[in-house]
Amino acid sequence: MRLSRNLIAAIALLAALPLIALGQDAPTPVPEKADTAWMMVSTLLVILMVAPGLALFYGGMVRSKNMLSVLIQVFVVFSLLIVLWILYGYSLAFTGTGQWIGGFERVLLAGITPSSTAATFTDGVVIPELVFVAFQATFAAITACLIVGSFAERVKFSAVLIFMVVWFTFCYVPIARMVWYGEGFMFKRGALDFAGGTVVHINAGVAGLVGALVVGRRIGYGTTAMPPHNLPMVMIGASLLWVGWFGFNVGSNLEASPFTGLVFVNTFVATAAAVLAWTAGEWLFRGRPTMLGAASGAVAGLVAITPACGFLGVGGALVLGLLAGFACLWAVAKLKVWAGYDDSLDVFGVHAVGGIVGAILTGVLVSPTLGGTGLDNYRMGHQVAVQTLGVLITIGWSGLVAFIAYKVADLTVGLRVTEEQEREGLDTSYHGERAYQG
């Protein structure tokens, strides 16, 4: 005979009464299988964003003679950052008590076992710490890979790797800790960055801009046409980025709870709105919509909603996506031309500008009166000021460390390939391979 649920609950309560009476502590939380599975899927989705997503997106936008050079830079930089994260990055970002840098107790993941857990945003809910380590590793790795697009087609592979080691150690790790760790400088001040507007996108975009300025323009830039060599590949890459981004944003909730539905829909809506905004802007001001523009608009929307996806209502996500599409189009079509820098694949115009728009407007659109989730003691002016402070710190620190890191690479192996290598293309001159035969 089956027992009713109420009877089972009553028996369980009676069995627990002696423990309650004795004042024993509640059982230690253990990870739920659903949360663990979701976080592993999210980690895999972020990997999908990089290879093949970002690699194809970037590879299609460069000239055919440099496609493989971009692919190998993305692929190897991703692998390098994963190893650095395991060696010391995780320990410095997520252990200890410092506001800017942590300790060494988790170097090489020392002390972490399969039963070790990491806290989530819900009291009593945990996930395996090894899964959390892997998830955060993909964030560090994709941030570094984004920078590659700024100096594409003209930088030595060895210089790229040296730059990445220095920049990751002294820039990414401190900013990740500042924003995401409980003792971090901006975290303690109430900064909102759900999935990496400052840590990932502004950080990478600023480092990319500095790289474009330090390395200089490509030969023929401004006088010779340098169109993308494979727009269908760009479309495929952008689509994979969009799909993978759900792991990036929704996974940042760290559990499979009903709240993840809001993050999912916000990511969905903002991206679609940005595609429409960029396309409409091109159509209106340039006379025709382009496939490259639509793909770029999608990435702009994804970037802008990243810091805000857990704090906005769906209406706010729609507005943010529209604003980001127009803002990033302006940065790519107007600001870049006016300033004269050669950011090869518009990392600054899309990631830094989109990240700034998203990070600052999070402070506005989180307001419950605008459909946001709200905050305790929320004051719009104060929250916008906090968001702006986080943006400014990220811009300043990333710019400074990036400049030093590029100089270190230049002094050790030299930054730029020879003129002959650049004209021939890095695929054959530097890597001895061809993307296309015949």
Residue 24 has a pLDDT of 53
pLDDT tens per residue, range 429-438: 999 999 998 6
Q: Are strands 126-128 and 117-119 parallel, antiparallel or unpaired?
A: antiparallel
Whether residue 236 lies inside any domain: the answer is: yes
**Structural domain total, the chain:** 1
State both tokens at 141.
């790795």
For residues 170 and 198, what is the distance between their CA atoms, to the nearest angstrom? 16
State both tokens at 194.
């759900």
State both tokens at 164.
């990445």
Whether residue 437 lies inside any domain: the answer is: no
CATH number of domain containing 305? 1.10.3430.10
pLDDT tens per residue, range 168-193: 999 999 999 999 999 999 999 999 99
Whether residue 425 lies inside any domain: the answer is: yes
Decide: 225 and 417 in contact? Cβ < 8 Å. no
Whether residue 67 lies inside any domain: the answer is: yes
Cα–Cα distances in Å, from 110 out to 51, 86, 113, 127? Answer: 29, 10, 9, 18
Whether residue 6 lies inside any domain: the answer is: no
For residues 383 and 409, what is the distance between their CA atoms, to the nearest angstrom? 39
Whether residue 164 lies inside any domain: the answer is: yes
For residues 371 and 142, what is the distance between their CA atoms, to the nearest angstrom? 31
Q: Which residues pair with 119 in a beta bridge?
A: 126
Indicate the burial class of 403 (C-beta count within 10 angstroms; 0-12, 13-18, 19 or more).
Answer: middle
Decide: 283 and 300 in contact? Cβ < 8 Å. no
For residues 41 and 127, what is the distance between their CA atoms, to the nearest angstrom? 13
Tally of CB atoms within 10 A around 43: 22
State both tokens at 209.
């801009």
Assess whether pLDDT exceeds 80 at residue 6. Answer: no
Q: Indicate the residue type of 58.
A: Y
Q: Indicate the residue type of 260.
A: T
For residues 31 and 39, what is the distance between their CA atoms, to the nearest angstrom? 11
For residues 215 and 209, what is the distance between their CA atoms, to the nearest angstrom? 10
Confidence of residue 329 (pLDDT cuts 50, 70, 90): very high
Whether residue 17 lies inside any domain: the answer is: no
pTM, to two decimals = 0.93
**Domain of residue 280, residue span:** 33-429
Cα–Cα distances in Å, from 438 out to 102, 136, 233, 307, 388? Answer: 53, 42, 20, 46, 52
Indicate the burial class of 20 (C-beta count within 10 angstroms; 0-12, 13-18, 19 or more).
Answer: exposed
**If you search the block for the tokens 């790790």, which residue do you land on?**
173
Residue 11 has a pLDDT of 35
Question: Mean pLDDT for the chain?
Answer: 94
Decide: 87 and 78 in contact? Cβ < 8 Å. no
Assess whether pLDDT exceeds 80 at residue 242. Answer: yes
pLDDT tens per residue, range 409-425: 999 999 999 999 999 99
pLDDT tens per residue, range 52-97: 999 999 999 999 999 999 999 999 999 999 999 999 999 999 999 9
For residues 263 and 318, what is the distance between their CA atoms, to the nearest angstrom? 13
State both tokens at 263.
């993050």
Whether residue 24 lies inside any domain: the answer is: no
Tally of CB atoms within 10 A around 317: 30
